[in-house]
Chain A
């Protein structure tokens, strides 16, 4: 029972990071109907940006709360710029083309970031500097909650609430909803579609950067290919909850994190990566709209 509780705690903390990255997928899908394969790699870049800022600014040697906040913000800004550039240079010129071309482009961008990353950062994994000391905050018997887990869940929650606020309460958010509903009508209402799409990419990439750095508190190893599988899992989480649906992404991510932790805990860690796809296939066959998604009749 105690082991089970521990797995639940671990799963929730991992799930909340999946949630951050899944939000990026779901927002872009909602607006462009595109699976942004490169999103997982933006997550990877976020971790690398954090790594470099931490070392260049000297926060790696002297860990402090201020340091990690600065590193987080700088890395968010850098990833925002990367996300903006990806959309501007690769996706925008192709927007009027068939979706299959966009998808191939997305794969291309993703491959470019992964292999470019390997070239720039080296193939060998690097270790993220320990910016906060690891502490056990609570422990009941064998169940223990570390300060990392609390930070990961808390920061993710803050950003998720922030995103909810931006999308449902602000002017830009309303515009985003309108664009995701219909591009043409939105532009007839005087919304600058290009700007809204750029904004969505920037927002999503920033969240990915947060995810990239948060996970590094608990698992400091970073390598240029780590974004592929993580990104796919986050995408599966988004589909699980109903793609294009913001609360759905978070619910899906939690399920994803929990079930993954259970498989690792009770079966074998080699099945870990297969689980995500199994969930995906099941949900797409049984309930294609996702858990929280609305069923819509297929238009011809």
Chain B
């Protein structure tokens, strides 16, 4: 217990330190990439709970992220911004806003998770993709949220500390889940639904819980994302964004949390590194050529993903 408390303090200290040092030492562009890495890590790790652990193929993750982002932005803009925000209340406001986004997103996760009880495999994929698109179209038609013009005027509250804090939280919860009774239940559903039901596991309950937890985390990612640049555009949350998340999970290995973390970092940096090359390809994102090629060769050569089921660990295997 004491050790955990100490660890917690060290992490908070490191994050706070980084929060002061990084903006000073790093140029704003790299700082932005760093923060985007964090958001994508949360996105990848959260999708990993549904797709990797529970084996339910969800293709609408961008929808959850959009719900989180827009809710959080609306809470900040309409609810909190009118009140005076001082240096002390601002972090609390931000926490409230992000958690509100995450909660609403979790609610949507519950609604979307219900069809997963009836559908499986590719049908579930298409339906979740459909939900994601419907959410996007509804946002597109909501004038309160800026509609097609985009939502402007969100304060820029995301910083290294908060993104880092939530990354640590999400990754830690994921790891604890993985090694818990509940995580094992999810893995057993992935391996064989019938057998796990025969072992007395409440399949429907666990599937919905996986969706709720995963969309809660995706909502956090969205809330952080909303406060990075102070601008939200419904065009960000198309199904291509969902595919981004799927690619992170598949690259890292279905079910591997550290795999998702590594894959999210690599893909985010790759996106920026290849941006220079767009001059030669006529404005086409070269990453979008590399992704599918990597995805296809991965499926042919190593279908379990780079990390498979394994985790990076500091401790030795017992």
A70 to B138, CA, bound (A): 44
Find chain B residues with CB under 8 A from A139 CB.
none
Write the nearest CB–CB distance from B262 to chain A, whole angstroms. 18
Find chain A residues with CB under 8 A from B55 CB.
100
A273 to B250, CA, bound (A): 28
Quick check: is A281 within 8 A (CB to CB) of the other chain?
yes
- Which of B140, B148, B281, B295 sits near A104, CB closer than 8 Å? B295
Q: Which stretch, B7-15, B117-125, B167-175, B264-272, touches the partner chain A?
A: B117-125
A232 to B134, CA, bound (A): 13
Quick check: is A274 within 8 A (CB to CB) of the other chain?
yes
Q: Which stretch, A105-113, A158-166, A176-184, touches the partner chain B?
A: A105-113
Q: Say yes or no: B122 contacts A278, CB within 8 Å.
A: no
A101-B299, A108-B296, A277-B131 are known contacts; what are 8 more A-B pairs with Cβ within 8 Å? A100-B121, A105-B296, A107-B246, A108-B293, A239-B126, A271-B137, A284-B123, A285-B118
Nearest 3 CB-CB pairs, A to B? A277-B130, A112-B292, A274-B137
Contact with A along B261-285 (1 / 0, CB 8 A): 0000000000000000000011111
Contact A270 to B285, CB < 8 A, known contacts A107-B295, A285-B115: no
Find chain B residues with CB under 8 A from A285 CB.
115, 118
Which chain B residue has the least Cβ–Cβ distance from A229? B133
Find chain A residues with CB under 8 A from B138 CB.
274
Find chain A residues with CB under 8 A from B292 CB.
108-112, 115
Find chain B residues with CB under 8 A from A137 CB.
none
Find chain A residues with CB under 8 A from B123 CB.
239, 284, 288
Q: Say yes or no: A288 contacts B303, CB within 8 Å.
A: no
Question: Main SS of the interface on chain B?
Answer: helix
Contact with B along A270-300 (1 / 0, CB 8 A): 1101101110110011001000000000001
- Footprint of A on B, CB under 8 Å? 55, 57, 115, 118-119, 121-123, 125-127, 129-131, 133-134, 137-138, 140-141, 148, 194, 239, 243, 246, 250, 281-285, 288-289, 291-293, 295-296, 299-300, 303
Q: Say yes or no: B121 contacts A99, CB within 8 Å.
A: yes
Interface centre among B57, B134, B299 (most CB of A within 10 A): B299
Q: Say yes or no: A104 contacts B194, CB within 8 Å.
A: no
Contact A280 to B126, CB < 8 A, known contacts A99-B121, A111-B288: yes
Find chain B residues with CB under 8 A from A103 CB.
57, 121-122, 125
Find chain B residues with CB under 8 A from A34 CB.
122
Find chain B residues with CB under 8 A from A104 CB.
246, 250, 295, 299
Q: Which stretch, A45-53, A117-125, A191-199, A204-212, touches the partner chain B?
A: A117-125
Q: Say yes or no: A122 contacts B282, CB within 8 Å.
A: yes
Q: Say yes or no: B289 contacts A112, CB within 8 Å.
A: yes
Q: Say yes or no: B126 contacts A123, CB within 8 Å.
A: no
Quick check: is A141 within 8 A (CB to CB) of the other chain?
no
- Classify chain A's interface size: 35 or more
Q: Say yes or no: A119 contacts B293, CB within 8 Å.
A: no
A93 to B300, CA, bound (A): 7
Quick check: is A90 within 8 A (CB to CB) of the other chain?
yes
Q: Say yes or no: B115 contacts A94, CB within 8 Å.
A: no
Contact with B along A231-253 (1 / 0, CB 8 A): 01001100100000000000000
Q: Say yes or no: A280 contacts B140, CB within 8 Å.
A: no
A122 to B296, CA, bound (A): 23
Find chain B residues with CB under 8 A from A99 CB.
121-122
Find chain A residues with CB under 8 A from B243 CB.
107, 111
Which chain A residue has the least Cβ–Cβ distance from B282? A122
Find chain B residues with CB under 8 A from A236 CB.
126
